[in-house]
Every structure is written in structure tokens, then in C-alpha cells.
Structure 1
Amino acid sequence: MTDITAQSGGSRGSAAFKLVFFSLIGIFLFFVPVTIAEKSTILLDHAATAIATQLRPVAVTFVCLLMAYGAFGPFVRGTWNKSITDMIFSVLRVLGLALAGMYLAGIGPANFFTPDMLPFLFDKLVLSVGLIVPIGALALAFLIGYGLLEFTGVLVQPVMRPIWRTPGWSAIDAVASFVGSYSLALLITDRVFKEGKYTVREAAIIATGFSTVSATFMIIVAKTLGLMPAWNLYFWTTFFVTFLVSAITARLWPIAGMEHPANRDLPLPVGKSRIQTAIDVGIEQAQAATNLPTLLRDTFIDGLRMAAMILPSIMAVGLLGLLAAKYTPLFDILGLTLYPFTWIAQFADPMLAAKSMAAGLAEMFLPAILLKEADVGLKFVAAVVSVSQVLFLSASIPCVLATSIPLSFRNLLVIWYIRTALSILFTAPIAWLAVSMGWLN
């Protein structure tokens, strides 16, 4: 009896060590900004940037191989024609691979090679996402494999479930997005969804509500619009508006009608506090976890597959969206549907505001470019909305469609519209107050 107890205690002690040690590694890699060469971001981003700049030929070759796998894989496996969406995106991925080849070879129409077209898509998005997703997948093993997800889930459940209708561990996704990137957050969401820990509705709420651009990219937006003197106001307004809008869209069609058999939250055991229960479930997961090499292999393969599906889509969908925004009236027409909201917001030029915000569907950075010369209140609203809308064609929408979450392209467009409209309405009063109080100059 004594031996059994000792063995059990040792097993629990070992699991507790794994929970703490590996979780701290995951937290450090994903959530702690580190300043290197005057750039402050998480280590995963530093690693991806270093490879992209110091080993560019290797990085380009690696990314092109992933794109080739993503483009031809569905045809080899015979999955390219499972649905209309699959057929369209299978063709678009082949187009994306061809566009990457054109860019690298310097062949094609001159307007494809302006800095805001293929160079932007390949150098700023494809290379970055193509490196950070596989690297992030390795780090993901530490974050989700040894009990941190379960521990956090129990601890913050009283906040996440009533406000955002998601399990407690979805807080990990939200933080990963703001300090890392939407691609890392979607990698986490997809992995947890495939493990059966999210329902379809929960996964949709997280993918379209939490997986926005990182704080690092927000700095670029703020710099472009001259808002860095009001950085704290901008950051916290964006944080507040993004998650307020997410709480509302979780209760509206189409997300509200998605499959959700029941909440899977377990009640607290009788006589146990929430913190004790959180520790217990975290340790149980650490005890049941597979060995680290296997977990690293599995998450890395998942990351490679996801990156392969995303990258050619970013090139093709991104270019088509950017061309449409620059050379067609498509987003001007779409802007008409946002005009009532910009009119209610009482902007000096509501039509310009509406058209510029609509262009954010093509690429989240476009409103910042189009409104660089606008008044400071409108610039502030544009800066917030470009982040809180979450979804855009050049990157995040292809990322969502590359996951296992059954979200249709139509649903994503509807969610984008609702998020954009609500974001305008919620941010405008804050901008008015900030201007009148002299916080924005």
C-alpha cells in the first residue's frame, strides 16, 4: 500500500512538473515580447523574421514547396471537388502558386509589381505566415499538450462562457492572437476543434472573433495614421471594441445558428474550489499527454499542412482583392452598404469613410492607406475598425477556410459586414470624446 501511494504521488508530482515547466515554455514563446535589434515582439516572430532576412533563399524555397503541396495536394488526393468552395479554392491555390512563380521570376504585368501588390503579398504576408505557422506549431506543443489549456479553461470559465459563449480555454486563443498573430491563433483553434474540445459554434466564434492581427501589426497601422502619440488609447479601444463586437456577433446569425449540441463545461466537483479543480484537470492532462517528441511531430505536421493551404490562397485571393480595390468600383459599391453607419457616426465625409472601410475586406491595411490625410477622428476610427473587423481577403479569410471549421465563404462575408458596421458605431463615440478632450491631436 505504501509503495502504491509513493508511486502515485511520484506520478502526480512528475505530471505537475510537466504542467508547470512546459506551460511556462509555451507562455514565454507565445506571449512574452522580447526586444531584439530595437524590435519588440514574441520570439516566434523574431525567429521567422531572422530566417526570412538572413536565410532568404532557404525561406523562399521552403515556402514555395509548401505552396506547391497546397496547390497540387487536393488534386492528388481527389478532394478538390468535394464542394463548390473546395473547387474554387483549389483553382485559386494553383493560381497563387503561379503568381508566386511570376513574382520570383519577375515576369508579369507591371501593375502586379507595384509595392502594394505581389511584393507586399509575398514578402510581408506569405513569407511571414509560411515561417511563423510551422515554427509556432512546434511551440504549440508546449502550450496545449501538458495541461495549460485545461487549467486555464476551468479558471476563466465564469468569464468566457456568459460573455462570449465559449469555453474558458478560448482565452488562450484570444491572447495568442493579440500578442502573436491570427495565423497562430487559428492554428490553436483548429487543433483544439479537431480534438473535439470546441463545438462548431464555439470554433466559429473564436475564429471570426478572436483571431485578429497582432499588436505588432497594430503599431504599423498607428504609425501610418500618425496615432502613436495616442498608442495606449488606440490599443485599449481596439481591444475593447474587438471583444465587444465578438460578444454580440456570437448571438447573431449566422454564428448563433451553428451546431452547438450543448455546453461541455463540467461542474466543479463537490467540495473543491475552482483553483483546485483547475490544478487537478491540468495535472490529469499532463499525466495523459504523449511524449514530447511525438507531440512536437504531430503539431509540426499540422502546422505544415495548414501553412500549405493558406499560402497559395493568400497570393491569389489577396491579389484579386487588392486589384479589385485599386482598379474596380467593387468596394465603392460595397461601401454604399456601410454608408448608413458612417452617416450615423457623423463623419465629415461619410461616403469616403464608408468606401475606405469597405476596402478593409480586401486587405486590413487599406483603410489606413486610403485615409492617411483624413481628420484625426476618422483616422482613429479607421485604425480601430481595420483590426476589429478581423476578417480580410488577403490573409485571414484564406486562413479560416484552410482550417477544419465548417465556415462557408458566404458566412465569413456576412460576419465581416456585421463586425465592420458594429465597430464603426462603437468606435465613433470614443473618437468624438477623444477629440473633444484633446487626447487626439
Structure 2
Amino acid sequence: MSDNVTAAATPRGLWVKFALPSLLGAIVFLFPVPNGESFTIPFGVLIDWVNENFGTLVSGLLIAVTVISAAVTVAFSVFGLGPKQGFLRHVFQVSPTWMVLRVLGAVFCLLYFTGTGPDFVISDATGGTVVGFLMKNLLALFFFAALALPLLTDYGFMEFVGAFLSGVFKRLFRLPGRSAIDGLASWLGAAPVGVMLTVQQYDMGVYTRREAATVATTFSIVSVPFCYVIAKVVGLEGVFFSYYASVILIGFVCALVLPRIPPLSRMPDTYANGAVPHDDDVVLPGETLLRAGTRMGLARAAAAPGPAGFLRNGVQNLIGIWFGLVPATLAIAMIALIVAEYTPLFTWLSMPFVPVLEWAGVADAQAAAPGLVIGFADMYLPALIGADIASQETRFLIAILSVSQLIYMSEVGALLLRANLGLNLGHLAMLFVIRTIISTPIAIFLAKVVVF
């Protein structure tokens, strides 16, 4: 279907294909349901149900995923086995660094579940936190997310909502209207997917280098299901909607500030070599926002897969995430927590923040301070090291930072450095620090005055 086809000429079946998956996705990820004395989302109910009723099965599945990932990755990357191209080659042929991380993930997992590893691996503070809790939750999360997130991202919901936000992105964030759709792709879907989409748009001439760098570093926020896991890690799932509203507010403030200051403000407004600049065609001349959103939503739905393709894509996404991301995430989180628990490195790095937090009246400031710096390695780490802090206000601050700092080197940072957007490690570190400086006082205020 062309974008120019009018709504009146649209077949009824296409309306159903646009509206039904989008509505179902919105219910699963955004609709509040009672949970005791508080509220949660249906997605969270599914994760909790699986972990409560199939804990042993999930543990066995985690062992199988990490071991198979390590073995097949070594076979593909070292010995050249397997198909020479295609989906499996893309998942399992990786760089030496990622291969080592996947092997380490399998080793840590086996040592923990067999109880044969050293104390620094199998203790509750390290292996118990990462393998016994976080990764089991992530395994269930990835299963449902791989199958359900496309309901939000592939059938027109993003385009429909993005049309209404396009003017806001132009006026407030100094970005073209189409960036609203890419921003939603990152926010509702997965941050790495959003980064890759933005880089593709830059290569095609949709964005200048400044615009692409701004979208990639400002709107690639952790998705709704990941936010739920962060809230669960720190024991705040009971106030999930207050927490997520705070994430949105802080993300909005950061998005207002960052494009107007270095390093993003100094990025050149030039297009990629060989790219033909595109017109910003989100809302056509004389078109209302509703008609523009409907037009783009229906066009996206027309290109979206049917039930068989939806299932096939979901299974491929699940394989890519389970076997590609889970073992490496496990290894990175374990290494960082071992360093945090058994060395003073992060304590030293966070010492300048302790008096600032104490001045702001943050309880357990000494324990919370490492959470302000450790997130540069991986987004889960602040929540993991802050999970045992007694003060719920302080845990709220740590949970906010886990999501709002945004630049983490285990995934998004690595993608940004490999992209041709002109961002270097110094830029990413500067953006991480600026986001931390902006997010921390707002989160402290929200925790003390609004939420608790």
C-alpha cells in the first residue's frame, strides 16, 4: 500500500491489521492492572507468573542457552563450521571479544548452578544476584518481549503516535519530525534497535550527523519491559507507573538540554557521503495530524507480516537475543559485580559523589554513590548494586539512573562507536556524565516529594 492511499479507500482487513495488534500491544505493555495494593502491567504479570511457577525449568533453560551459545559461537567463529551466510551465521559468528564474553557467561552460569565455583562467583552478592535472579528474569522477559514487542513496533502504532509528536520534536528538540517515530522505536522497542535504525536513516540522508547523533544518544532509552525488570530488581514494581512516569519526565528534560550543549550542539549539520537529503514528510501540506498518523500507520501495517511471518520473526528475534545477548550480558554483569564487591575501584570512583548525595539528604549515600558511575559499563549494574539498600527513596534514585544515564558500553555504547556518526569515547563519557548530573537532582526531588 502506498502512503498516498486515502483512509476511505483502505480495505477493512488492513484497518484490522493496523488496529488489532496495536491495541493488543498497548494493553500488554501500557495498560495498568491491579497488583495487590498497587498496579502493574500485563507484561509484568506474565514474567512473575513464569518465574513463580517454572523456576526450575527457567534455571535449566538458562544453563542450556549459555552453554549452547558458547559452543556454537566457538564452532562458527574459530573453526568456521556452520552455514557460510544467513541468520545463524549472523548470530554466532562474532568478534573475539564477544566470543570470550559468551564463553565466560556459560562458565559463570555452570559454576553458580553446580556450586563448584569460588565464593566470588557463587556468593549471593554476585552469582546469586546476576545468575540466580537477574538473568532468570531476563530470560522470561526476552521470551515475551520477542513475541509481543512487534505488536507495538511493526503494525503502525509507532507511526500513528509519532505523527502527533512530530511537531514537538521539531520545536523542542531541534530534530525533524520523523525522529519522533525513531524515538518511539527506541523507547518502546529496544535501544540497540533504535540506534541501528537511526544509523540507517543517517546513511540514507534522512538525518544530518548532528540530528542522527542526537536521536541515537537521547532517545535510545531502555524499553518498557526492561524498565519493569529494573523496578523489580530494586523492589519497586509496586510503584511501577510512578517510576516509569519519572523516567519519561527525566528523559524529556535531558532531551531538551542535550541537543543545545556540547558535544551534540557542535556536531556538524552535514549528510553522509553520497546520501541524498530527504524531505521531512511525516505530515504532508494541508494534512491533519490524525490523517498523517493514520496514513503512516496503515502503510506500516500493510508492510507488516501476517501471523506466520510474525511468529517466524518472533522466533528469530528470540534466538538472536537468547543466544547472542544473554550470555554476554551475564558475563559483563558478573565481572562488574565481582569488581564492585571485591575491589574498591567503584568506591574510589564514586567518592566525589558521596558528599553531594549527603548534602541532598540521600539516605545510604555511601552505598548509593557507586550506582552513579557503574552504569557506564552496563545498564543493569546500578540496580544490582542498589537492590539491598534499605531506603526506598534511594533505590528509586538508583533505578532511575539505571535507565536515564542511557550510555552503557556493553551494548549501545559499542554500537555508537562502530557507527559513522563521529562520536568517540570522550563524547559518550561526557554525555553519560551530563545525563547523570541532570537526572540525579530530579530523581531525588521526585522520590522525596512526589512518589513516596
TM-score, normalised to structure 1's length? Answer: 0.74
Which residue of structure 1 lines up, in the alignment, with residue 302 of structure 2?
287
Which residue of structure 2 lines up, in the alignment, with residue 277 of structure 1?
292
C-alpha displacement at 1:31, in angstroms?
Answer: 1.9
Which residue of structure 1 lines up, in the alignment, with residue 227 of structure 2?
214
Which residue of structure 1 lines up, in the alignment, with residue 23 of structure 2?
24
1:417 aligns with 2:416: no
Moved more, 250-259 or 277-286: 250-259
- 425 and 340 in structure 1: CA distance in 2 versus 1, 3 angstrom threshold: farther
Show CA shifts across 1:309-338 (max 9, x none): 221122211111111111212112221464
- 264 and 140 in structure 1: CA distance in 2 versus 1, 3 angstrom threshold: farther
d(CA) in 2 for partners of 1:139 and 1:380? 27
Q: Size of the alignment, in residue pairs?
A: 410
Which residue of structure 2 lines up, in the alignment, with residue 134 of structure 1?
143
Which residue of structure 2 lines up, in the alignment, with residue 365 of structure 1?
383
Which residue of structure 1 lines up, in the alignment, with residue 157 of structure 2?
148
Does the CA contact (< 8 Å) of 1:121 and 1:318 recur in 2? Answer: yes
Matches within 5 A, 1:226-265: 236-250=245-259, 257=267, 261=272, 265=280
Return the letter of the residue paired with 1:420: T
C-alpha displacement at 1:385, in angstroms?
Answer: 3.5
Show CA shifts across 1:279-329 (max 9, x none): 122222222333221132123302320232221122211111111111212
Show CA shifts across 1:34-86 (max 9, x none): 3468885333333333333323344334333332354344444439999xx94
d(CA) in 2 for partners of 1:135 and 1:383? 22
- 244 and 216 in structure 1: CA distance in 2 versus 1, 3 angstrom threshold: same
C-alpha displacement at 1:16, in angstroms?
Answer: 1.5
Which residue of structure 2 lines up, in the alignment, with residue 335 of structure 1?
350
Does the CA contact (< 8 Å) of 2:163 and 2:292 recur in 1? Answer: yes
SS of the residue aligned with 1:214?
helix
When the two chains are superposed, the root-mean-square deviation of aligned CA atoms in Å is 4.5
Identity among equivalent positions (%) equals 20
1:311 aligns with 2:326: yes
Which residue of structure 2 lines up, in the alignment, with residue 325 of structure 1?
340
Return the letter of the residue paired with 2:295: D
Does the CA contact (< 8 Å) of 1:12 and 1:287 recur in 2? Answer: no
- 349 and 317 in structure 1: CA distance in 2 versus 1, 3 angstrom threshold: closer
SS of the residue aligned with 1:421?
helix
Which residue of structure 2 lines up, in the alignment, with residue 189 of structure 1?
194
d(CA) in 1 for partners of 2:196 and 2:288? 29
d(CA) in 2 for partners of 1:252 and 1:174? 22
d(CA) in 2 for partners of 1:413 and 1:159? 28
Any unmatched runs of 5+ in structure 2?
A: 1-6, 81-89
1:125 aligns with 2:138: no
- 406 and 206 in structure 1: CA distance in 2 versus 1, 3 angstrom threshold: farther
Which residue of structure 2 lines up, in the alignment, with residue 105 of structure 1?
114
SS of the residue aligned with 1:150?
helix
Which residue of structure 1 lines up, in the alignment, with residue 96 of structure 2?
87
TM-score, normalised to structure 2's length? Answer: 0.72
Does the CA contact (< 8 Å) of 2:218 and 2:254 recur in 1? Answer: no
Does the CA contact (< 8 Å) of 2:153 and 2:185 recur in 1? Answer: no
Which residue of structure 2 lines up, in the alignment, with residue 158 of structure 1?
167
Which residue of structure 2 lines up, in the alignment, with residue 388 of structure 1?
404
d(CA) in 1 for partners of 2:301 and 2:103? 42
Return the letter of the residue paired with 1:169: I
Does the CA contact (< 8 Å) of 1:160 and 1:171 recur in 2? Answer: no
SS of the residue aligned with 1:168?
helix
C-alpha displacement at 1:22, in angstroms?
Answer: 1.9
d(CA) in 1 for partners of 2:182 and 2:245? 20
